[in-house]
Structure 1
Amino acid sequence: MKNRLTVCASHLITLPSAPHGPVRAAIAAARDAVARFDPELVVFFGTDHRRAFRSVVPTFAVVLEATAQGDVAGPVGSYDVPSSLGRALIADLVAHDFDIATAYRAELDHAFGHTTRDLLVSLDAKPVLPVFINCASPPHASFRRAASLGRRVGEFFADRRVLYVGSGGLAHDLPGFREPETGVVLTEEERQAWIKSVNERARSEGTIRSLVQAWDEAFLSGIGDTSWEWLDTIGDDLVERGGNGAAECLTWTAAWAAGGQALTTLAHEFDTNGRAVVMSQ
């Protein structure tokens, strides 16, 4: 499949405060591979941290116009979104029994912004079609359903030279996302103050989850193959095994299925936050 390249990466890995480890080096290697591949289109499967989608949180959505919020030292500006292609994709997905939402415009957060900058250098370097997958506000789609969506997207763009991107994960736990979704809109200053207070309370109460590396390894093994059997068990006891942040790997699963190829792990680090970069080769 010479006309497809898939790259999945954790976000926030190039912040100055982030560890300067093998994952940071791997994102540079992936960026070089993307430049050599020179896609005509980037289909970006990303999520949100309860910033962009508030009063309505769809399970899946195709975004037709997008800007970047610039949160967490992320980029600002507008994405070059091919809206006519997005509309055609929405029609195709509905015709194939996916209840996809249309986001006519969205101000996307760092779940899209950081990885776009890491791989493409700038937001408008290539046409980017954002496909939103809800990972932060349960209930989430199953991993098999995310894969089914991705596979259909890959079939729709089979005749184009496409880079498929998934951003998020791996195992990590965010105390703030244990709180039920309310749709409340916060300024970024209010959000950061709230996150700080929730994290401090979790530490004082001793409710910070101690995660183990096994979930990361099982997930990376799954996308390192083309079989779909693993999809039916990887989501079992997800929060207990991988933390609530592991749901972000739904975006990786969709990108993996869209590309239709086994992915190679370029780098993986595990501490309180699982981080990795994977790519089809």
Structure 2
Amino acid sequence: MTNSLTVCSSHLITLPSAPFGPVREAIADARAAVNEFDPELVVFFGTDHRRAFRAVVPTFAVVLSATAQGDVAGPSGAYDVPSALGRALVADLVAGEFDIATAYEAALDHAFGHTARDLLGEIDAKPVLPIFINCASPPHASFRRAASLGRRVGEFFADKRVLYVGSGGLAHDLPGFREPETGEVLTEEERQAWIKSVNERARVEGTIRELVRTWDEAFLAGIGGTSWDWLDEIGVDLVERGGNGAAECLTWTAAWAAGGQALKTLAHEFDTNGRAVAISDK
């Protein structure tokens, strides 16, 4: 049995209108694997929807104290963050020439909360060290840079029994993030209207669905191995091929590299949004 387990998942919104298909079922399998593995530490690569980081958006940040906002029917409360360990990680990353930010405290949104709850049961069930990766406010890091960060993090925690989590994606388009320089987020009513229009266009044209499937399959094939050869190609024309939400897969890429193992896809589904769950062998 190895010292690490990696689980990557779309953060599934727990609203009555949310889909409950194969990916939702696979979350239960991933959670059972997490329970069996019983990690001493969870290193969680997650992102944000311009709720936690607004005035200043770092490319990467280690969070030393975190609460959950409870947005979109997500959990609320405090994470059990090992801040001393986080500070030591920051020092190591800086020594490794990563310009990492230190977030002394952050109110994290559902990009962390949903998946933490889905995999752990409660967000404070295990010590969780959140590592923020900017995915919603371009310019963001390349997939290769996210992998490099993940590899360094994995090296730092090589002597611990760690669950690496990546939460986000897959290919989808985030309403309100088309003009990032405004920093504005749509209201929920505007967001639902936008989603309805996208779904309608997809039913008529079929083009968005095909883009989602093609990009998703290429990405899942990449993390399904250990080669880094695919990292440069997957980010080319990202918005056109996978939507602006596809950048959330930077969190998966970092977690994949941290664990250093190929991931197997437990479930993948798509309509106008790609969703999947992938896990490494223990």
**Does the CA contact (< 8 Å) of 1:3 and 1:162 recur in 2?**
yes
Partner-residue secondary structure (3-state), 1:246? helix
1:195 aligned partner: 191
Greater CA drift, 266-275 or 208-217: 208-217
2:241 aligned partner: 241
**Does the CA contact (< 8 Å) of 1:13 and 1:24 recur in 2?**
no
> What is the distance in 2 between the residues matched to 1:6 and 1:203?
32
**Does the CA contact (< 8 Å) of 2:151 and 2:257 recur in 1?**
yes
> What is the distance in 1 between the residues matched to 2:17 and 2:195?
18
The Cα of 1:192 is off from its aligned counterpart by 2.1
CA offsets 1:150-178 (integer angstroms, 9 cap, x no match): 00000000000000000000011123110
> What is the distance in 2 between the residues matched to 1:171 and 1:92?
32
**Does the CA contact (< 8 Å) of 1:172 and 1:211 recur in 2?**
no
Name the amino acid aligned to 1:125.
Answer: A
1:123 aligned partner: 123
**Does the CA contact (< 8 Å) of 1:70 and 1:109 recur in 2?**
yes
1:18 aligned partner: 18
**Does the CA contact (< 8 Å) of 1:264 and 1:279 recur in 2?**
yes
1:207-218 to structure 2, matched below 5 A, reads 210-212=208-210, 213-218=213-218
Identity %: 78
2:136 aligned partner: 136
> What is the distance in 2 between the residues matched to 1:239 and 1:153?
28
**Does the CA contact (< 8 Å) of 1:169 and 1:249 recur in 2?**
yes
Q: Which runs of 5+ in 1 are unaligned?
A: none
> What is the distance in 1 between the residues matched to 2:116 and 2:222?
24
> What is the distance in 2 between the residues matched to 1:223 and 1:108?
26
Partner-residue secondary structure (3-state), 1:175? coil
Number of equivalenced pairs? 276
1:155 aligned partner: 155
Name the amino acid aligned to 1:80.
Answer: D
1:1-281 to structure 2, matched below 5 A, reads 2-12=2-12, 14-183=14-183, 191-196=187-192, 210-212=208-210, 213-281=213-281
Partner-residue secondary structure (3-state), 2:267? strand
The CA RMSD measured in Å over matched residues stands at: 2.0
The Cα of 1:12 is off from its aligned counterpart by 1.7
**Does the CA contact (< 8 Å) of 1:171 and 1:215 recur in 2?**
yes
The Cα of 1:43 is off from its aligned counterpart by 0.2
> What is the distance in 2 between the residues matched to 1:106 and 1:143?
24
Name the amino acid aligned to 2:187.
Answer: R
Name the amino acid aligned to 2:250.
Answer: L
Report the TM-score, using the length of structure 1 for normalisation. 0.93
> What is the distance in 2 between the residues matched to 1:17 and 1:72?
12
**Does the CA contact (< 8 Å) of 1:171 and 1:243 recur in 2?**
yes
Name the amino acid aligned to 1:163.
Answer: L
Greater CA drift, 5-14 or 30-39: 5-14
> What is the distance in 2 between the residues matched to 1:178 and 1:200?
17
Report the TM-score, using the length of structure 2 for normalisation. 0.92
The Cα of 1:147 is off from its aligned counterpart by 0.1
> What is the distance in 2 between the residues matched to 1:16 and 1:201?
20
> What is the distance in 2 between the residues matched to 1:51 and 1:105?
13
> What is the distance in 1 between the residues matched to 2:178 and 2:46?
20
